[in-house]
Structure 1
Amino acid sequence: MKTYGAAIRQVRKNKSLSQSDVSNNILARTTISKIENNNITPTITTVESIIIKLDVTMDELRYIKNNYQLSTREEIITDFFKLVSNTQTELLMDIISRCNIYTTNHSKDRLLEDISIVLNAALLLANNEFEHAQELVKPIWKRLEKIDHFSLIEIRLVCNILFYFPLEVIEKFVPRLLTMIDKYQALDKTLNSLKAALLINTASIFMQSNSAITTTSLNTAIVIAKDINRFDLLASAYYLQGVNTDDFNLIAKAKNIFLAIEKEDILFQFEKEYL
């Protein structure tokens, strides 16, 4: 792994920039030289000033610093974000195992511990052990529900555990969660997928008790899924809307999409639950 100074020097030279090109009213050329030669450790403010000149982000610089690789911790978090369904048992177990190995070999890491708990709860849920799963995630929920404004990772955690709780809790919290997601949309476009998934899950939960919430949630999810070309989410929303309105043509359309994108496992779960 490189130092920040070495990573900055690599990016600067790749762009054929001199140290004077990178210096500005805040930083002298000699300061840039000292950073690149590891004679001083730059502050976060200094690094931010430099990367603006280099046209890279902090995440990109960190990636270059790590020899164009994610750290072990970042890989775990990234794979957690990529999860599409709780039916991906092998992938869930793999991430849990990696979380356990990491937390055993490093100092306490609350985030990875939370991810491991959430995924273990998902496995329990897949085996219809709902109450056990709920008890497992309850401490995470008790901590997060007191926070007024979530970070990005906290938004994702809440989206994974919210549906373990009573309908009145879900109905009260989903609008707040959607507002938080919208605040981060400009920063992270992948949140569009998360928002659509949240609306689809909300619709499925309220299908028996509140058709209005189901219809509104699915209509919004369909618009988002089309905008971002997420055909798995689009098919899921179509399927549930078909069930909600007894529209078998819509269910057939959803089925055709699932088959076309080779997501038969998701289709199987829907048919198992609703047919």
Structure 2
Amino acid sequence: MKTYGAAIRQIRKNKSLSQSDVSNNILARTTISKIENNNITPTITTVESIIIKLDVTMDELRYIKNNYQLSIREEIIADFFKLVSNTQTELIMNIITRCDNYLDNNSKDSLLEDIRLALKAALLLTNNEFELAQKLVKPIWERLEKIDHFSLIEIRLVCNILFYFPLDVIEKFVPRLLIMIDKYNALDKSLNPLKAALLINTATIFMRHNSAITTSSLNAATIIAKEINRFDLLASAYYLQGVNANDPSLIDKAKNIFLAIEKEAILFQFEEEYFPERAENIIY
């Protein structure tokens, strides 16, 4: 792993910039030299001033500092957020083991402890042990519900555990969560698929309980999916719209999209849930 000074020097030279090019009204050239040679440790304000000149983000600087690799902690978090469903048992168990190893060798880390609990709850769900799963993630919810404004990571974590909870909690909290996502949207456009998925999951939960919430959630998800060209999310929204409105043409439209983008596994999950007699005809 490099020092911040070494990473800054590498980026600067890669861009064919001199130390004078990176200096400004705040930083003298000699200060840049001392930082690059590890004679002084830069403050966060100093680093921010430098990376603006270098046209990189803080995340990119840390990535280069770590020899173009994520840290062990960052890898665990990244793999957690890549999970598609609780049926990925092998991957879930792998991440749990990595959480165990990290937490055994590092000081208390609330986020990784929460991720470990959420994954253990996901494994319980595969055995239909919903009440045990809900009990396991309850401490996470009790901690997070006291927070007025979530960080990006907390937003993603809440989206992963929200649907373990009673309908009244979900109904009250989803609008708040959508507002939080919108606040971060200008910073991180990758939240758009998360928002669409949240709306689709909300519609799924309320399908048999509240047609108005289901309809409005699916309409919003359809718009977002079209805007970001996420055809898997669009097909999911169409399928659920067809089920909710008893419209076979929408279901057929969804099927055609799933087959065209080779997402038969998702189609199978929908068919198994709503039309189990047809699921066995899907080959994937």
Q: Deviations over 1:121-169 (max 9, x none)?
A: 1121122110010000000001111111111111111111111111111
Aligned residues: 275
1:264 CA drift (Å):
2.3
Q: How does 1:1-275 map to 2 (within 5 A)?
A: 1-275=1-275
**Residues in 2 aligned to 1:152 and 1:165: alpha-carbon distance in whole angstroms:** 21
CA RMSD of aligned residues (A): 1.1
Q: Flag structure 1 segments of 5+ consecutive residues without an equivalent.
A: none
Aligned mates of 1:101, 1:156 — CA distance in 2 = 23
3-state SS of 1:69 partner: coil
Per the TM alignment, residue 219 of structure 1 is displaced from its structure 2 partner at its CA by 0.7
Between the aligned partners of 1:93 and 1:257, the Cα distance in structure 2 is 32
CA separation of 1:249/1:163 partners in 2, compared to 1, >3 Å: closer, same or farther?
Answer: same
Letter in 2 for 1:63: Y
Amino acid at match of 1:205: I
1:135 partner SS: helix
For 1:185 and 1:165, the matched residues in 2 are separated by 26
Of structures 1 and 2, the one with the larger relative CO (CA 8 A, separation 6+) is 1
Alignment TM-score, normalising by the size of structure 1: 0.97
Partners of 1:126 and 1:237 lie apart in 2 by 24
Amino acid paired to 2:145: E
Amino acid at match of 1:99: C
* Higher mean C-alpha displacement, 107-116 vs 249-258: 249-258
What letter is aligned with 2:117? I
Question: What is the aligned-residue identity percentage?
Answer: 85
Q: Could you tell me how far apart the structure 1 residues matched to 2:101 and 2:271 are? A: 37
Partner of 2:42, secondary structure, is coil
2 CA distance for matches of 1:118 and 1:260?
33
Query: Shift in Å at residue 232 of structure 1?
Result: 1.5
* 1:174-232 alpha-carbon deviations (Å, 9 max, x no partner): 10110000000001111101100110011011111110110110011011111111122
